[in-house]
Amino acid sequence: MNALAATNRNFRLASRLLGLDSKLEKSLLIPFREIKVECTIPKDDGSLATFVGFRVQHDNARGPMKGGIRYHPEVEPDEVNALAQLMTWKTAVANIPYGGAKGGIGCDPAELSVSELERLTRVFTQKIHDLIGVQTDVPAPDMGTGPQTMAWILDEYSKFHGHSPAIVTGKPIDLGGSLGRDAATGRGVLFATEALLKEHGMVVSGQRFVIQGFGNVGAWAAQLISEKGGKVVAVSDITGAIKNNNGLDIPSLLKHSKEHRGVKGFQGGDPIDPKSILVEDCDVLIPAALGGVINRENANEIKAKFIVEAANHPTDPEADEILKKKGVAILPDIFANSGGVTVSYFEWVQNIQGFMWDEEKVNNELRTYMTRGFKDVKDMCKTHNCDLRMGAFTLAVNRVARATVLRGWEA
């Protein structure tokens, strides 16, 4: 089941639990606006190249739409649609005043020079600048984009609308980016994990963790978990996987990964088959890489008691059912990885106020939001007698539905 089908399925299950009528259900699913633009740029060799850019704006009942822009060869409308909808639910679970959006350009950033990427970003911004805005739709980085991409969007948008630092989040600090943003998703994963374990009378210290994916989110989660006394026994990335039953030395691994562009070859652990990473013996499994990695093929073999979804849509619905029967507690992606969008919200707030916070305030506010978010999800679980995923979805859908009805938008 692809991401869009799975998101729609979870939405419909939540909608039934809440007893929404079919008209309201339909209006919540249909995107507010879908944008498709042609972006033609001169390449460095003088030839012209044309790319297709997308922006799906899903819902703005609770506030401006929010979501990343990805540069990837397979930016596919269905996937962008699913991710935009997921952002609507994610911002609602986090209880920040946003709706969902997502966008991207079908290109391979590795095959474009820095100046070509800049030209492409500026042309894309020119095409959509009157459809995004500080109070309309606020983009952020995603796969294949980063702070520099946001800096180009900010500059190009400001040519049309005056200096507007709040038009994008995930910017460089020097242009109004927030302290703590880089670690935010990983730190949110730690706070979410702490809340989940506390519910079961446990703490992070002494638990054994396996982390699939050692990019920004996985690496920060590993570092912060090990600082709290958690034992990270196995990690993997695209280069390979390593394991040490006594716990990996995370500071050394981070240094190795930076120098060798991956975990492969790290001396402080034994190499293992990356395919086996999800079924390694541990207390907490953190998938922090791709979607759909936990499926009916491997769900029965998973030994973890808790799964914290740092990636988007890592568990497919069939695996969900298998794991539920095994008694595995799954903290869903729309809550577990919402630390990033929450600190993006803090960045937007700071830009609008023209007053920047120190890192300690950012981290303390994030802890407050994640802890309160977990309590809200648990309350919905009790109300509707459901698991954490449905608790999060019913919480999100209920908040968006109420805003929609209060605004008089229901069909």
Residue 66, marked binder: yes
Radius of gyration for the chain, computed over Cα atoms and rounded to the nearest angstrom: 21
| Cβ 31 vs Cβ 58: under 8 Å | yes
Give CA separation, 147 vs 125, 139, 173, 248, 322, in Å.
15, 12, 9, 30, 40
AA letter at 410: E
Cross-strand partners of 57:
33, 101
CA distance 317 to 191: 25
> How would you classify residue 137: left for phi > 0, otherwise alpha for psi between -120 and 50, otherwise beta?
beta
Q: Which two tokens stand for residue 78?
A: 């269905």
CA distance 63 to 57: 12
Residue 90, marked binder: yes
231 a catalytic residue: no
Q: Which of 102, 171, 231, 243 is labelled catalytic?
A: 102
The DSSP letter of residue 263 is S
Residue 312, marked binder: no
The DSSP letter of residue 221 is H
Q: Which two tokens stand for residue 375?
A: 């309590």
Count of beta carbons in the 10 Å neighbourhood of residue 360: 10
Annotated binding site: 66, 90, 185, 216, 344
Annotated binding site for substrate: 66, 90, 344
Among all residues, which ones are annotated catalytic? Answer: 102
